[in-house]
Structure 1
Amino acid sequence: MPEVRFTIRWPDGAEESCYSPSTAIHRHLAAGETYPLAEFLDRARSGLNEASERVAAKYGFACSAAMDQLALIEQAAKNQPSDGHVTCLSLS
């Protein structure tokens, strides 16, 4: 299953490299797009959950790396202004 690395820029300007075990994330985030923080979190949750489900369908178990990445994103978001915006810089 092809993995995807995606880079985001948080509202405070920090950039973070993230991981998805599946290309499913492409249906939820687009390179060059900026999302309000709450929408970004919804999209990241949807995309990483879908990616984990695709792994489960293929291998019989959910992807803990996708859930770990989601937890990291959710934790980092707590330190950002709630009215901020997150930019998806790239998906590869």
Structure 2
Amino acid sequence: MKSQLPVLRVRAREVEQNSNLARSFLSLCETHIVGPVGFTLQVQGRNNRGELDTNGNKKVESEFKRWCKRGVCEISGVFLFLCAACSGAHYRARW
């Protein structure tokens, strides 16, 4: 099976490019895994008294939003986190 892996990859790419059903499946994976607005972070960290640390949680959430911007979340500096997440979902659905 390992020796046939390159052939299988080529055929899978051909199916993706030439089959409406395959394209539709990958699109559905992006839509239902990532969603229209991407992933959000909701921190529920607590302080020493066991209460929600609202200031700390807001800080972490705002830093996550800043990290999600173009040029920060991935090495090429081209994509937003949403695009990178869609790409990841697309890649994962192929396997």
TM-score (norm 2): 0.29
Which is helix-richer, 1 or 2? 2
Q: Which has the higher contact order (CA 8 A, sep 6+)?
A: 1
